[in-house]
């Protein structure tokens, strides 16, 4: 039997979470005697480039696709194209409507609630909070913001005074946070939809000589260092590494004729100073989760 090829689509080469995802798919594929081809836009999160890369992948006829869509609406027609070509697709991280084999992710709304709760409790239930969110094209950010807003009802002493778009990246988040600091003389807490934006918020706070409690999401190695030092309050283990590994296992199971659930939720734990040592292992040294650990 010919060595199966998995076409792997991630949104950019800037976010360390996507580097971890590519590493996980490579390792799972190698274990199964498969190989991978990575399709990554040269321009950050560029929808047009990802569409062109789908066309390129269709010409290469991979056995299966593992896809993190840049836009959950604009890429729907490309999911249909892959399905029409008879190529099974595992969506991961970003959910999207359409004919996919499965979606693998975590409960983003619950993660937004969990990190917001950690922040609000650390503030003693009172304070002025701002938020940094991703673009509207990112369903993970939209769901996490819903979790943030839902949590406000449990903490009447917390005021969400402003939100800004940090595009899930550190430099634009720093700019966005600088603008929030200019507009608000008092900010006690910063909720962010991912760790890179948390880093940008920390950069802006440091440049302004101000302090606030900051939470992120992803459990990136740099976030663990910040939490250990006390410069970040918490993050959540929304693990692109684990999610991508299970997505790769899903398509490989399908190719072997084994059943795959239509949706697979990977647990995400809150990371704070009390437990952060568990996440200090580099991604290159972490084991890929076995199928049975996640799918029961």
Same structural domain, 102 and 10: yes
For the stretch 87-136, pLDDT in tens is: 999 999 999 999 999 999 999 999 999 999 999 999 999 999 999 999 99
Same structural domain, 114 and 90: no
Angle, helices 195-208 vs 221-229, to 10°: value is 40
Give me the pLDDT at residue 53, please: 98
Domain assignment present for 69: yes
Same structural domain, 51 and 152: no
pTM: 0.94
Same structural domain, 185 and 39: no
Report yes or no: 116 and 99 within 8 Å, Cβ to Cβ.
no
Same structural domain, 248 and 220: no
Tell me the mean pLDDT per 10 residues along the chain, length 296.
90 96 98 97 97 98 98 97 98 96 98 98 98 95 98 98 97 98 98 98 98 97 97 97 98 98 97 96 93 96
> Quick one: which H or E segment has residue 241?
helix 240-255
Domain assignment present for 293: no
Instruction: Report strand pairing: 270-272 vs 234-236.
Output: antiparallel
Cβ atoms within 10 A of the Cβ of 223, count? 29
Same structural domain, 126 and 215: yes
Q: If DSSP states are collapsed to H, E and C, what string results for 151-198?
A: HHCCCCCEEEEEEEECCCCHHHHHHHHHHHHHHCCCCCEEEECCHHHH
Mean per-residue pLDDT of the chain? 97
Give me the pLDDT at residue 2, please: 76
Domain assignment present for 285: no
Domain assignment present for 290: no
CA dihedral 210, 212, 215, 219 (to 10 degrees): 50
Same structural domain, 63 and 151: no
Number of folded domains that form the chain = 2
Same structural domain, 20 and 101: yes
Percent of the chain as helix, strand, coil, to the nearest 5: 45, 20, 40
Cα–Cα distance measured from residue 125 to residue 220, given in angstroms and rounded to the nearest whole number = 27
The SS3 assignment for 23 reads helix
Cα–Cα distance measured from residue 26 to residue 131, given in angstroms and rounded to the nearest whole number = 35
Domain that holds residue 256: 5-106+240-265
Q: What's 113's domain CATH number?
A: 3.40.50.2300
Rg of the chain on CA atoms, in Å: 19
Give me the pLDDT at residue 97, please: 96
Domain assignment present for 54: yes
Residue with tokens 């409790």: 121
Cβ atoms within 10 A of the Cβ of 166, count? 30
Same structural domain, 178 and 161: yes
Cα–Cα distance measured from residue 221 to residue 246, given in angstroms and rounded to the nearest whole number = 21
234: left (phi over 0), alpha (psi -120 to 50) or beta: beta
Domain assignment present for 173: yes
Domain assignment present for 295: no
Domain assignment present for 226: yes
Same structural domain, 232 and 247: no
Same structural domain, 130 and 69: no
Same structural domain, 115 and 72: no
């Amino acid at each position: 039997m010919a060595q199966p090829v998995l076409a792997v689509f991630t949104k950019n080469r800037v976010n360390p979470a996507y580097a971890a995802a590519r590493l996980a798919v490579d390792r799972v594929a190698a274990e199964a005697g498969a190989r991978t081809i990575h399709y990554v836009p040269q321009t950050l999160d560029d929808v047009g480039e990802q569409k062109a890369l789908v066309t390129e992948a269709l010409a290469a006829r991979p056995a299966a696709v593992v896809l993190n869509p840049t836009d959950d609406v604009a890429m729907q027609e490309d999911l249909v194209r892959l399905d029409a070509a008879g190529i099974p697709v595992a969506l991961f991280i970003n959910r999207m409507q359409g004919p996919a084999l499965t979606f693998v992710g975590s409960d983003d709304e619950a993660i937004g609630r969990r990190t917001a709760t950690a922040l609000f409790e650390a503030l003693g239930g009172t304070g002025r909070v701002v938020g940094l969110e991703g673009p509207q094209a990112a369903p993970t950010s939209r769901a996490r913001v819903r979790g943030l807003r839902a949590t406000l009802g449990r903490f009447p002493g917390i005021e969400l005074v402003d939100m800004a778009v940090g595009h899930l990246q550190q430099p634009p988040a720093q700019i966005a946070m600088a603008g929030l600091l200019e507009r608000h003389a008092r900010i006690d807490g910063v909720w962010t939809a991912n760790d890179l934006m948390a880093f940008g918020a920390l950069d802006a706070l440091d440049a302004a000589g101000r302090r606030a409690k900051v939470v992120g999401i992803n459990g990136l190695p740099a976030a663990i260092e910040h939490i250990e030092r006390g410069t970040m309050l918490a993050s959540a283990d929304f693990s692109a590494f684990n999610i991508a590994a299970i997505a790769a296992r899903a398509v490989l199971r399908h190719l072997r004729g084994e059943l795959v659930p239509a949706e697979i939720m990977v647990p995400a734990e809150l990371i704070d100073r009390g437990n952060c040592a568990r996440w200090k292992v580099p991604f290159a040294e972490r084991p890929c989760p076995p199928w049975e650990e996640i799918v029961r």
